[in-house]
Amino acid sequence: MHTLWELASEGKAPRLLGVLARWLDGDQLALSRYSSHLAVAAAIVLILSGSGSSLWQVAGGETLRLGVVPREQEAFVSWGANPLQSPDYLTRGVAPITIIPERGRQGIIVYVVQAGDNVSKIAASFGLRPESIIWCNPELETWPDYIVVGQQLFVPPIDGAYHEVKAADTLDSIAKRYSVDPLVIVESEYNDLSEPYVLQVGQRLFVPGGTRPLVARYVQATAPPPANAPQGTGNFMWPTSGYVSQGYYLGHEAMDIAGATGTPIYAADSGYVAATGWMGGYGNYIIIGHGNGFETLYAHLSVIRVIAGQGVQRGALIGLMGSTGRSTGPHLHFEVRQGGIKRNPIGFLPRG
């Protein structure tokens, strides 16, 4: 397939005109009748710039590409098998390809938690931030790990928050709570609102882009450090083997490392066991105080191998991985706290 410009630039214009002439089979009357077509073809050869790529079909010979529209919008024109029986005009065909833009999900859906799920994984599968899953499911706000297999979660179509209207709520108060303009709520296609915008208790509104502070949970160490407790170095090691199934984000100020039940859990640095026990979503947990302003927490253990007040060295076995508490599969929930503030563990662990 050649463009007319290519034929002209390669010195093949005479050949092109010859092709047209041969279609006329030497008929002088037809030659006179179609002389205007030959003139047009010659003019195209001389002026065509070569840009574009639409197709034009000529009878019984080569397909010539004229150059005006993108390839995906190519149209076809035919003069028929016998030019002498064809009309003196060209008919433009329908473009063979139609491009339909993809449209995003148009509403909030209910997702059923599966084995091995966590908030971060669910959010990623829908192209959302983990916080959006939390802000659409109030039961997760104080405990993002508080999910179990079979639990139903609201998943929004875009990042934002889901709000259930309470008594005395107004559009202004809701917008202020989620740090957005009231028009964001009013104009959202996901809310069926119309003037005068009277809200009903129990009504659910989606707040696109809405955010709000999350209350951090905290477990307090109880055992005092023993007199001869090892001092932490601030040089942390990975506390177990596995893969990072959930990272650090607002509402989940920790790292989850998934593996098999019974995988050994080690002290990330030297110190003493400040607390052990069972608590809500944590299940079996251990807190180690490192005597230098740092604490580490290890949760969802299947077995605890230390007792409160015990000194431990960096790398000492302290328990086994499990899925106790609110968990969809075996993993270690690992926290690093500095001066009572939860820090991102990845910033304290060796790379590679």
User: What b/e string do you get for 201-214 counting C-beta neighbours within 10 Å, with b at 16 or more?
Assistant: eeeebbbbebbeeb
The whole-angstrom separation of Cα 306 and Cα 324 is 17
Residues 16 and 66 in one domain: yes
Q: Is the domain of 193 the same as that of 116? A: yes
Q: Are 239 and 298 in contact (CB under 8 A)?
A: yes
CA distance 326 to 117: 11
Q: Is residue 252 part of a domain?
A: yes
Give the tens place of pLDDT for each residue, 144-153. Answer: 777 888 999 9
Q: Quickly tell me which residue has 């065509």 as its tokens.
A: 48
Q: Reply yes or no on whether the pLDDT at 139 is more than 90.
A: no
Q: Which two tokens stand for residue 107?
A: 């509403």
Residue 104's pLDDT band (boundaries 50, 70, 90)?
A: low
Of the given ranges (72-81, 154-163, 253-262), which has the lowest mean pLDDT? Answer: 72-81
Residues 6+ apart with CB under 8 A from 18: none
- Which amino acid makes up residue 246? Q
Lowest mean pLDDT among 36-40, 140-144, 328-332: 36-40
Name the domain boundary from 27, 51, 85. 85
End-to-end Cα spacing for the chain = 54
pTM metric for this prediction: 0.55
Under the banding of pLDDT at 50, 70 and 90, the label for residue 193 is confident
- State yes or no: pLDDT of 87 exceeds 80: no
Q: CA 320 to CA 302: how far, in whole Å? A: 6
What is the rounded radius of gyration, in angstroms, for the C-alpha atoms of the chain? 36
Question: Are residues 6 and 81 part of one domain?
Answer: yes
Q: How many residues does the chain have?
A: 352
What is the count of structural domains for the chain?
A: 3
The enclosing domain of 312 has a CATH number of: 2.70.70.10
Separation between Cα atoms, residue 75 and residue 56, nearest integer Å: 7
Measured distance CA(13)–CA(45) in Å, rounded: 7
Any idea what DSSP says for residue 224? P
Alpha-carbon span 21 to 182, nearest angstrom: 73
Mean pLDDT of 94-115: 69
- The CATH number linked to 176 is 3.10.350.10
Whole-angstrom distance, CA of residue 152 vs CA of residue 120: 15
Q: What is the pLDDT of residue 47?
A: 44
222 within domain boundaries: no
- Are both 59 and 126 inside the same structural domain? no
Which range marks the domain in which residue 58 is found?
2-85
- Examine the domain organization and report whether 343 and 249 are in the same domain: yes
Residues 62 and 125 in one domain: no
User: Do 197 and 171 meet the contact criterion of CB atoms below 8 Å apart?
Assistant: yes
φ, ψ at 187 (rounded to 5°): -90, 0
Where is pLDDT greater, at 211 or 303? 303
Q: Are residues 66 and 134 in the same domain?
A: no
**Is 225 inside any structural domain?**
no
> Of the given ranges (25-34, 122-131, 198-207, 343-352), which has the lowest mean pLDDT?
25-34
Judge whether 98 lies within some domain: no
Mean pLDDT of 226-231: 85
Find which of 30-39, 67-76, 325-334 is predicted with most confidence, using mean pLDDT. Answer: 325-334
Same domain, 117 and 203: yes
Tokens representing residue 345 in the block: 């563990």
Report if residue 122 sits inside a domain.
yes
Whether residue 231 is contained in a domain is answered as no
With beta carbons less than 8 A apart as the criterion, state whether 313 and 270 touch. yes
